[in-house]
Amino acid sequence: MNKNVLVTGGTRGMGEAIVKEFAQNGYNIIINYVKSNEKAISLKSQIEKEYKIKVLLIQADLSYEDEISKMVKTALQEFGKIDVLVNNAGIVIDKEFVDRTVEDWKQTLNVNLIAPFILTKLIGKEMVKQKNGTIINISSTNGIDTYYPSSVDYDASKSGLISLTYDSAVEFAPYVRVNCIAPGWVNTEMNKELDEEFVKEETERILVKRFGEVEEIAKVVYFLASDNASFINSSVIKVDGGWY
């Protein structure tokens, strides 16, 4: 029987690459998305045809607890179980430190940290019942050791996600492995507004002298979900090309 994975923010960027990686490996996929209806429908039809797997699209804004709960309920009703949860969705609001508002903080924390907590709570419990499952959180090197005052709330949310990883690994042991990936700079829409000079400076600081590609993150996510990573638990893996 095929395994099932739920990927949040699964229609573009890293999320889309993660969806394709799991599809390629025979997983049925629950794709959460918030806005891009057309993109979601075309992605579903493309990967169902190409990989002969089932895709369930669920539109849900992760800023709202009721939409998250409804999504989990629908996913369990339709697919019966969730074997892998990938907390990928995230937002960044670029604004000077001193201009940042409490509303900015709340918006960022809701999507980047509180939504992963709610999903981990709801799905982790189910994984314990089925005595099997794994959760992968997409944090960031901003949550570890790269600091940008203009994304202070984002950085805090990504540090929080690392704490959530450790705490939920303890909470759901021994049946559920919970791990975290901390990507460095990756070429996605999230970075499309970055200043050219800033990109040049950051690229100089990366040992491989380039930004990463989404597939390079997706492969690590799939590895962590697979049996090849059966002894990796409560870990944070930096995937950043070596940043100094």
Q: Which amino acid is at 135?
A: I
Torsion of CA 97, 99, 104, 108, to 10 degrees: -20
**Shortest Å distance, C-beta 128 to ligand NAD:** 25
Q: How far apart are CA 61 and CA 88, in angstroms?
A: 13
9 binds ligand NAD (CB under 6 A): yes
Nearer to ligand NAD, 169 or 218 (CB): 218
Nearer to ligand NAD, 90 or 124 (CB): 90
Before 149, cis peptide (omega within 30)?
Answer: no
Between the alpha carbon of residue 97 and those of residues 121, 154, 158, 199, 206, the distances in Å are 32, 11, 17, 20, 25
Q: Which amino acid is at 46?
A: Q
Sign of CA dihedral 49, 9, 70, 224: positive
Segment near ligand NAD (CB under 6 A); pick from 39-47, 57-65, 73-81, 200-208: 57-65
What are the helix and strand counts (H, E) for the chain? 8, 7
**Shortest Å distance, C-beta 129 to ligand NAD:** 26
Annotated active-site positions, please?
A: 154
Owner of token pair 């990573």: 229
Binding string, 167-196, against ligand NAD, x = CB under 6 A?
Answer: ----------------x-xx-xxxx-----
Nearer to ligand NAD, 173 or 194 (CB): 194
Q: Which of 5, 7, 13, 221: binder of ligand NAD (CB under 6 A)?
A: 13
Q: Which amino acid is at 2?
A: N
143 binds ligand NAD (CB under 6 A): no
Q: How far apart are CA 96 and CA 3, in angstroms?
A: 44
**Shortest Å distance, C-beta 88 to ligand NAD:** 5
Q: How far apart are CA 213 and CA 220, in angstroms?
A: 12
Radius of gyration from C-alpha coordinates of the chain: 17
> In what helix (H) or strand (E) does residue 37 lie, and over which residues does it extend?
helix 37-51
Nearer to ligand NAD, 35 or 129 (CB): 35
Nearer to ligand NAD, 126 or 202 (CB): 202
Segment near ligand NAD (CB under 6 A); pick from 6-14, 119-127, 202-210, 229-237: 6-14
Q: Which amino acid is at 114?
A: I
Binding string, 65-94, against ligand NAD, x = CB under 6 A?
Answer: -----------------------xxxx---
Q: How many residues bind ligand NAD, per CB under 6 A?
A: 25
| Contact residues for ligand NAD, defined by CB under 6 A | 8-9, 11-15, 34, 61-63, 88-91, 111, 138, 140, 183, 185-186, 188-191
